[in-house]
């Protein structure tokens, strides 16, 4: 199992480009939130969980399709690989 650093954030702009909504107002209307919510997401970035949920809900795809390897960029294992058990 893996966890992300709590401060790790992804930019919103790649998701906006993926759904072809270049403007804040258009994107806010598209996802059903206020434009101030979009500005806040742009300013602080998205957590891994937020990015995952938005990618699936808004773009209908896995977040790695939008952010590439950056989506997994700061993930670290919770236990050393030597502690992992093989599936039976």
Q: What is the pTM of this model?
A: 0.74
Domain ranges across the chain? 2-78
The 3-class SS string of 24-75 reads HHHHHHHHCCCHHHHHHHHHHCECHHHHHHHHHHHHCCCCHHHHHHHHHCCE
Tens digit of pLDDT at every position of the chain (88 positions): 455 666 788 999 999 999 999 899 999 999 999 999 999 999 999 988 899 999 999 999 999 899 887 887 655 555 555 555 555 4
- The kind and range of the H/E element at 88 are none
């Amino acid at each position: 199992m893996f966890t992300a650093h709590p401060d790790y954030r992804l930019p919103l702009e790649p998701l906006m480009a993926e759904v072809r909504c270049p403007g804040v107002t258009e994107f806010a209307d598209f996802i059903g939130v206020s434009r101030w919510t979009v500005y806040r997401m742009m300013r602080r970035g998205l957590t891994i969980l937020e990015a995952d949920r938005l990618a699936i809900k808004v773009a209908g795809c896995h977040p790695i399709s939008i952010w590439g390897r950056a989506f997994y960029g700061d993930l670290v294992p919770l236990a050393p690989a030597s502690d992992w058990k093989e599936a039976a």
